[in-house]
Amino acid sequence: MAYTQPHPRLSVLSTSSQSSVEHLSPTASSTRFSLPSAPSIQATLNKAAPNRPNIYDRNLNKTRGTEVSASAFAFLFSEVVQYTQKRVNGINDLERRLNTLGYRIGTRVLELMVWRAESSSKTPKRETRFLPALMSIHTQVWKAVFGKAADAIEKSVENADEYMIIDNDPPIERHISVPRDMSQLSCSSFTAGIVEAVLDGLGFPARVTAHNTPTSQFPSRTTILIKLEKSVLDREELMKQ
């Protein structure tokens, strides 16, 4: 049985309608309905800061005198102390962990100072005697880390292997309030770790601790106690001969 073809006007989709649909189809008109591709994160960062120097490309000698915000450092160090305090069992454990953190900083400070000395001098000098090395820690290391030299160096009268660095106003303790039940805590154990790392790197192994020695004039006065190993004293005696 044959079926007659429907009239073009009665067809579901006429030829003109098909052309209209094709015209409105996203595939047929990519210009009108296409979506722009999202830029990559790296392209956005490069466009936002095209002339911003990379921190690894900075000249280390030009940043020798760069200072850090004291309030930012105080806030960061306070958070470090609070974070560590929640994960220790007592004052000795807290001071030991602060010493360990300071030791990691000290190794990097020594590396940076040695690099600067070798790059700025044709004949760099390495200290082989303990007292000159201690003097460099008292002045150069303290200035590199805290922006000022320490106040004094003392030698123990009772023990020949003990030396002390005195800081009347430690910058890291200016904004720290120690509770009464933890009055024996010295947050300068962080500084003691820095000193111990520098001494180890220079070839003078020692055990370095921090002790609160307040006075009426300087309530935050701190003593960094250095107890040298016997090998250092023996070498010093040989070099005197």
pLDDT tens track, the chain, 241 positions: 555 555 544 444 444 444 444 444 545 444 455 555 666 666 665 655 556 667 667 666 666 666 778 888 888 998 999 899 889 998 999 999 999 999 999 999 999 888 888 877 777 778 889 999 999 999 999 998 998 999 999 999 999 999 999 999 998 888 888 888 888 899 999 999 999 999 999 999 999 999 999 999 999 999 999 999 999 999 999 988 7
Cβ contact 98:190 at 8 Å: yes
Return the pLDDT at 16: 46
> Topology of domain 69-239, per CATH?
Muramoyl-pentapeptide Carboxypeptidase; domain 2 (3.30.1380)
CA–CA distance, 8 with 186 (Å, rounded to integer)? 97
Structure tokens at 36: 């722009």
With DSSP H G I counted as helix, E B as strand and the rest as coil, what are the percentages for the chain, rounded to 5?
A: 50, 10, 40
CA–CA distance, 130 with 134 (Å, rounded to integer)? 6
Helix and strand numbers (H, E) in the chain are 9, 4
Q: What is the DSSP string of 45-112?
A: HHHH-TTPPPGGGS-TTTTTT----HHHHHHHHHHHHHHHHTT-SSHHHHHHHHHHHHHHHHHHHHHH
Return the pLDDT at 169: 93
Return the pLDDT at 183: 82
Return the pLDDT at 58: 67
Return the pLDDT at 72: 87
Q: Which amino acid is residue 59, in one-letter code? A: N
Return the pLDDT at 12: 44
Return the pLDDT at 10: 45
Return the pLDDT at 21: 46
**Nearest-5° Cα angle at 189, 185 to 193:** 165
